[in-house]
Amino acid sequence: MASNILAVGASRNIGYHASLRFLNAGATVTYLLRTPAAFDTDEDVQKYVKSGHARLVKGDALVEQDVRKAWTEATRDKPVDLVLFSVGFPGTPSFNLSKGFVISPANLATQSLLNVLCTMPKSESAPLPKVIAVSSFGVTRASRAKQPLPLKFVYGYLIDHPLQDKRGMERVIAHCGGWAWDEKDREPGEEIMGANWRERDGLPGSGALKDAVVIRAAHLTDGDCLADKAGEKPAYRAGDANLTGWSVSRKDVAHFVFELVTKRWDEFKGRPVGVTY
């Protein structure tokens, strides 16, 4: 199991619930947080802050120097063996009649991930850490084509703008992991990727990031973790990147993140994986 984790985008939702599972299992988690005070009244996290297993670093993932600071704190005792990247849509999207819901900045996840990977410590004698990046159904043309008709409208219009950011994030992982990129999805534009993003200082070269997984989750809900109650029967499906499905709870995706790292890494590493009920 991963014992030293850097969590980016884990103040709430999937990253938060997954990080708690790792903390409960004895791991150390360093959180990069724009507002560390968000955990001031969180008893579940605070007990690990007091024990030293949860480390809170104030910073913005869009600021490269802040991300360097998080890496420094996370690696002060030993190397990081897992990056949990779950940066989601910022705030409340605005609605545009021609574009659907619009987020600002439009490239939050993509640029934050680039900062994380570019500042990641590199050593010829040690492998790069595992990387998990949380994405969404509908990011690619193939994924959208598999979804029920009403969700095609959601992914193709209502949240297409935010999904462009997730597509950029996936493009970065695909490049660094040496994964094939479907030409039908085209290359995300500079407004998402930035100019000459492949040449950014410190970015792992093509194929260098051997231990990475992209999790494409169905429409997310705030429901309970059904997997904790299901016993031997699987509560959700995890498999093909283009699974068909309606929804899944954030807590069940967090459950899968933990199961993925502790039990199923060799099954899924090096590719996207879909998760849905």
CATH number of the domain within which 81 lies: 3.40.50.720
3-state helix, strand, coil in the chain (%, to 5): 40, 20, 40
| pLDDT score recorded for residue 104 | 85
| pLDDT score recorded for residue 150 | 87
Residue 42 identity (one-letter amino acid): D
In a domain, 142, yes or no: no
In a domain, 99, yes or no: no
In a domain, 15, yes or no: yes
In a domain, 131, yes or no: yes
Low pLDDT (below 70) residues in the chain: 90-92
Domain range for 233: 4-91+104-137+165-276
Domain count, the chain: 1
Residue with tokens 């959700």: 236
Distance from chain centroid for Cα 96 = 26
In a domain, 83, yes or no: yes
Distance from chain centroid for Cα 259 = 15
Strands 100-102 and 94-96: antiparallel
Considering just the CA atoms, what is the radius of gyration of the chain in Å? 18
| Model confidence pLDDT, tens digit, residues 57-78 | 999 999 999 999 999 999 999 9
In a domain, 143, yes or no: no
Q: pTM here?
A: 0.95
Q: Quick check: 137 and 276 in contact, CB under 8 A? A: yes
In a domain, 149, yes or no: no
